[in-house]
Each structure stands twice: as structure tokens, then as C-alpha cells.
Amino acid sequence: MKALIAYFSRRGMNYAPGGMVELKVGNTEVAARLAAELCGGELFEIRKVGDYPFDYRECVEVSKREMAENARPELAAAPPDMSSYDSLILCYPCWCGTMPMPVWTFLEGCGLSGKRILPLCTNEGSGMGRSEADIRRLCPEADVAPGLPVKGSAAKDAGPAIEAWLRSQGVI
């Protein structure tokens, strides 16, 4: 099975147990790279044009505004052609109970009809939120597998859980 691992991740100040921490590499990128190593898939970073604020609280305000406006931020790079992939491992943080809006832009720009989507969502306690339902709504012709919630602050230690999930879904 040939997989694309597409991820949206944010560096900067981030909430973690015990307070704020500065992330040089975002938690979701860490989890996405683990998934890519485990299944041998190709990585694609979902980035919007212009960065989100470095400050966590400012970023939350921007993301809330984007969600309220049902925004589709312009992406820095077009989604890859999905015709040569069987599946998409979609990695993203839980923002406002779902995916960040650039992930919505990405999903709507991909040809995912007939593809398998495996959602991996980093979070600090909100789990998958409503993201799986949102993915199903955005990609009604895709097969959306049960997602894997990963605690963001523990992403570097999530290899065994990611491996077990990928095995259970037949990716490795």
C-alpha cells in the first residue's frame, strides 16, 4: 500500500501540561515523521501562505476567527497528485474541536475519491474532537478509517501506538 503522509504542524509557543513551552518542531510533525518511518510513505507538509502567530493565545484567536468565517486559507504549495497513492495518513492538531482550516483547504484540493484516509490527531486532551465527522463530510467518496488521537506533548514517544494503529489498518 503506497501512502502519503500529509501533516499540518505548528512551531512556536504551545500549551503543554504544566504551562507553555516553545516548540522548535511541532508535535504533529514529530508524529507524522514517525508514521512515515514506520510505513515508508512520503511526507507532505500542509502550510498556509503566511505563518500563524508564534504566541499560542494569538494563534488560538486567529484559528477561532478562521473557523467562524469558514475560511479556506491559501496553501503555500498545492496538494500533490493523489493518483499514485492508495491512502492518505492525515496528521493534524485538534484546534477548536477539529482540524485547522488549512487542512480543510488541503482536503478539498485533493482528489480523494476512492482513497483511504487515516486521521492522526495530536491533542492535549480533546481527542479527535469532531474531526473524523468533518473529514467524512469533506470527503464523502473516501474511506475514512478510525483515527488515532496522540497526546501532543508525548508525540516523540508515540511510535509504538502509531505502529500498532498502522498495523491494525493494514498499512504496515
**What is the spatial distance between Cα 107 and Cα 125, in angstroms, rounded to a whole number?**
24
**Alpha-carbon distances, residue 9 vs 31, 52, 87, 102 (angstroms):** 10, 10, 20, 10
Q: Which residues of 27-52 are buried (b: 16+ CB within 10 A; e: fewer)?
A: bbbbbbbbbbebbebebbbbbbeeeb
Supply the pLDDT for residue 84: 93
Q: Residue 101: is its pLDDT beyond 90?
A: yes
Task: Note the pLDDT of residue 17.
Answer: 85
What are residue 3's DSSP bridge partners?
87
Q: What is the pTM of this model?
A: 0.96
**Can you tell me the mean pLDDT for 24-47?**
97
| Average pLDDT for 103-125 | 96
**One-character DSSP codes across 90-107:** EEEE-BTTB--HHHHHHH
As a whole number, mean pLDDT of residues 6-29 equals 93
* pLDDT given at position 7: 98
Structure confidence at residue 18 as a pLDDT band (50, 70, 90)? confident
Mean pLDDT on 8-31: 93
Average pLDDT of every residue of the chain: 96
pLDDT above 80 for 80? yes
Q: What does the alpha-carbon distance between residue 12 and residue 8 come to, in Å, rounded to a whole number? A: 14
Task: Compute, in degrees rounded to 10, the torsion defined by CA atoms 115, 113, 88, 47.
Answer: 170
Distant-in-sequence, close-in-space partners of 74: CB < 8 Å, separation ≥ 6: 48, 49, 105
- Report pLDDT for 123: 95
Strands (E), the chain: 3-7, 12-16, 19-23, 42-45, 87-93, 116-123, 143-144, 148-151
pLDDT at 109 over 80: yes
Mean pLDDT of 135-149: 97
Note the pLDDT of residue 1. Answer: 72
What's the distance, CA 143 to chain centroid?
Answer: 17
What domains lie within the chain, and their CATH numbers?
Answer: 3-168 (3.40.50.360)
pLDDT(15) > 90: no
